[in-house]
Amino acid sequence: MTLLGEAVEHAPVGVFVFDEQGRYLAANAYACEQLGYTRDELLELRLGELAVSQRDALQEYERVVSGGAAEGVTRARRKDGSVVALRFRARETTIAGMTFYIGIAWADAAS
């Protein structure tokens, strides 16, 4: 694993990578911890499936896909059914000529 990969895996924020169809392709350890899912469980989901308001989550996703950086606060449902407010930032990126989207999320202290 590269130094950056190792740092991201143990970063104190949730890191998610998803594709143009909203499928989660990668998630770091903290992302799993924040939401109470194993990595394998998270990777079976799509963007918006954990959101309290799927409509709002998909609107934010569309902002990212259309090329605009998205940031804000979303409310996600953890595996145990509890709700967590997460501040997030997301942006499009290209890796090896392929388009992906990366998002980071952390608990929103104001909520």
pLDDT tens, residue by residue, 22-48 = 899 999 999 999 999 999 999 999 988
Percentage of residues in the chain having pLDDT higher than 90: 50
Tell me: the pLDDT tens digits for 8-29?
999 999 999 998 888 999 999 9
pLDDT band of residue 1 (cuts 50, 70, 90) is low
pLDDT of residue 111: 59
Selected residue with higher pLDDT from 67 and 95: 95
**Are residues 106 and 14 in contact, defined by beta-carbon separation less than 8 angstroms?**
yes
Q: Are 47 and 58 in contact (CB under 8 A)?
A: yes
Instruction: Give the residue among 57, 61, 77, 79 at the shortest CA–CA distance from 69.
Output: 61
3-state secondary structure of 64: helix
Tell me, what's the pLDDT at 69? 66
Q: What is the pTM of this model?
A: 0.85
What is the CATH topology of the domain spanning 14-72+89-97? Beta-Lactamase (3.30.450)
